[in-house]
Structure 1
């Protein structure tokens, strides 16, 4: 009978520890790296897309200013706004 009580007590303690961990999850370093990755891609994709679109516009619609530089700056601004929005949403959770 004591073995059965010991086993049930062990299971109960294990279940209580699991519930405590679920209530207060800890952030791991890997989740931090994931955040850096999402923020980096959300800035990099509009920036590179702006550069390519600007190079195409330079050939099709030449202007006195540089399309790639203008659209790279625009891509950085758009990417920063997307990253800021994403950080704001994840901070509330």
Structure 2
């Protein structure tokens, strides 16, 4: 029976930890890291699309912006989707 009592005490302690886990105050560093992660997830596809589009446009003879503009727009869509998935998975 001592094993059962010890198991009950450990389980109750774990339940208290889980309940209190969500009530911890958010630190300023945590807010900056969270915001930085969201910004990184949004900006990297846009910048990558811009550079890839610029490179593709330079391969085409004459002056063209089609690839650059289209890949920037695609980067915005991909970045928005990245942020959406990150926020959905965190909640």
Provide TM-score, normalisation by structure 2.
0.67
Cα distance in 2, alignment partners of residues 55 and 73 from structure 1: 13
Q: Structure 1 stretches (4+) deviating beyond 6 angstroms?
A: none
What residue is the counterpart of 2:72 in the other structure?
72
What residue is the counterpart of 2:40 in the other structure?
41
Provide TM-score, normalisation by structure 1.
0.65
Q: Once the 2 structures are TM-superposed, how far is the Cα of residue 61 of structure 1 from its aligned partner?
A: 3.9
Q: Once the 2 structures are TM-superposed, how far is the Cα of residue 33 of structure 1 from its aligned partner?
A: 1.3
Larger radius of gyration: 1
Cα distance in 1, alignment partners of residues 35 and 22 from structure 2: 25
- CA RMSD after TM alignment: 2.5
Structure 1 runs not aligned, ≥5 long: 1-17
Cα distance in 2, alignment partners of residues 42 and 23 from structure 1: 25
